Amino acid sequence: MENNSGDTNVLTHVDGRAGFIRLNRPRALNSLTGGMVRAMTTALTAFAENDAVKCVILSGEGERGLCAGGDVRQIYDARHASEMDRTRFWRDEFPMNYLISRYPKPFVAFMDGIVMGGGVGISAHGSHRIVTERTRLAMPETAIGYFPDVGATWLLPKAPGETGTWLGLTGSEIGAADAIYAGLADYHVDSQRLPELTEALTAVCDESDLEAAILRFATEPVRGILPDKRSVMDAAFSRGTIEDILASLETMNDRFGEETMAVMKTRSPTSLKLTLKLLRLGRDSAGLIECLEREFVAGCHVLRGHDFYEGVRSVLVDKDRSPKWSPASLEAISDIDVDRYLAPTGQQLLFPLRRL
């Protein structure tokens, strides 16, 4: 297999009329490094300029997942570096997410297995998003003292009702049917048939050919939980504050509500409040760039604080799963405290003069 990416963790080649990008870091669940992001951007640019390429196919090596997200351990390890170095990954990643959202050719993402965090960013912005019976999708950032980024504050508010708010605040995993219901995927294909679908896509001539090829393999997924639980989510997560959301869940006398409340109480209080703020702002935003710029600013502030490093330490470094959040309670975090995460940081804009 020819590899033109310049990074062995990203394999690229052309087969027939399709350009392929395959993440090749299976032992790390294909978590993205800065080098991988840059290699993907280079490949996407080359495929866009290649008239012989009619579509691009993104997949992940191994059977465990497309991508478990950005390699936050690398950001953690750079905690004593300059702010420019600490945020370099996002300054490469977020523009790539936008490139995928506006890609001039069909972008087909095989969202097989684990698709989390940054894995959602490189797939859910694509034009043709395929999930399988093995898909486990989540934006789990509040568990590590962070918030859903990679444009998730643009995508999640578009999910039906308050299902996107639930996804963003709890970080809960969903399967294929719920990913489609939430507007984060388009088609379900059995994982065993992906090789056949891949072969069919190498012969497509245009987008209508491509969609017809996908539909030949598409099937109905097993029913998810979002349609059945939406009424609970809408009732609770439409509230204006985290405190009111939790209070609403507590009064419902509903097992799902109790489980949701228990999960939220383990999350970073700061992350919960910041996430809700960003999701509400995303709902009223003009476009993806506005959300990505806002997420970048908030991320810069997060890296100046405590909870992100404590969350990564707890989950990925010491693995004790016992984070000590600071502040430790919702009551200790005011609206003014949350608004400080949106204040200009002095960092350069990701998309100068562009606000689409």
310 neighbors 323 (Cβ within 8 angstroms): yes
Q: Is 141 a catalytic residue?
A: yes
- Taking Cα atoms as reference points, which of 173, 142, 146, 153 lies closest to residue 68? 173
CA proximity to 73, closest of 32, 38, 39: 32
Structure tokens at 207: 């987008």
Instruction: Classify the C-alpha dihedral 74-75-81-82 as positive or negative.
Output: positive
Instruction: Kindly name the residue from 118, 121, 151, 257 that is annotated as catalytic.
Output: 118
Find the catalytic residue in 60, 70, 113, 121. Answer: 70
70 is catalytic: yes
Q: Which residue in 7, 92, 93, 149 is the catalytic one?
A: 149
Tokens of 319: 């693995």
Q: Which among 92, 112, 141, 186 is annotated as catalytic?
A: 141
- Tokens 């600071």 appear where? 326
Q: Quick check: is 337 catalytic?
A: no
Q: In b/e form, how buried is each residue of 240-279, taking b as 16+ CB within 10 angstroms?
A: eebeebbebbeeeebeebeebbeebeebbbbbbbbbbbbb
How many C-beta neighbours within 10 Å does residue 124 have? 28
Active site residues: 70, 118, 141, 149
